[in-house]
Amino acid sequence: MKICITGATSGIGEASLHLFAQNSDHIIAIGRNEAKLAQLKLQYPDLVTPLILDIRDKEKVTKTLSSINDIDILINNAGLALGMDPAQKSELNDWDIMVDSNIKGVLYTTHTLLPKMVERKQGLIINVGSIAGTYPYPGGHVYGATKSFIHQFSLNLRADLAGTNVRVTCLEPGMVKTNFSEIRYKGNHEKANKAYENIAYLTSEDIAKTIFWISTLPSHININVLEIMPTAQSFGRFHYERRSI
C-alpha cells in the first residue's frame, strides 16, 4: 500500500511510519524537519519518500501532492496546540497558527488527494482529532475548537462519499506523551513533563497501532469515530461559581 502521513517526523506520525514500513508499505512522509526526514529515508531507503512541506502552505501542498497518484491511505496527523492561557489572555498569533495547522492543513491535503481516491473507488482517510474536540477544559479554547472541526468534517466527508468506497475515520486520542506539550508550553520542559507526571499515559506507539489496525480492516467496514483514552484519564465534573444572589 501507499500511505501519506503528515507530521511524520515525530510523535504519532513517526510511530505510524515505522509500523507501516515494517509492513513493507510505501510511505510519503510529510514534515518540516529536513534532518529527520533524511534520517527516516536513510532508515527505509526503499520505502520512504520524504517531502519537506509545510501543510499550511496551500499552493505548495496542492502543487506537490497533485503529482502523487495511488495513495491508499491519507493520515492527517500534523497539528499542534499553543499555550494554556485563558482565551482572554491568549496570543492571537497562536490562534492563527492552530487554525492554519489543524484545520486548513487538513483541508489542503484532503482536497488535493481525495478526488483521486474517489476516481479509483478506494481509499481511507484517517484524521487524527482529539478528545479535546468533545470535552472542553480551561485553556483548550481554539485547540479544542479545531479538533471539533475535524470531528464534524470527518462525518460530513462520510456523507459526501457514500457510494464511493472511500472510508473516513476520525481518531480521537486522549493523553498521549509526545512532543505535544513541549510545543504547547513553547519549550518549557518542566511544565511539559509535569503534565504527564505519575500518569500511565498513552504512547505514540499505542495510537500508531490503532491507526494500523484501522487500516487493516476489510473495505466494507468503516470506523466513523474512535475515542481512545488511557485508563488513568476520565471526565471531570461541572464547574460552578458560588456567590450570593
Active site residues: 143
Query: What CA–CA distance (Å, rounded) separates 82 from 76?
Result: 19
103 with 146: CB under 8 angstroms?
yes
Question: What do you get for the CA distance between the two ends of the chain, in Å?
Answer: 64
Query: What CA–CA distance (Å, rounded) separates 193 from 201?
Result: 12
Residue 145, Cβ neighbours under 10 Å: how many?
17
Q: Which residues contact 170 (CB under 8 A, 6 or more apart)?
A: 127, 129, 150, 151, 154, 155, 224, 225, 226
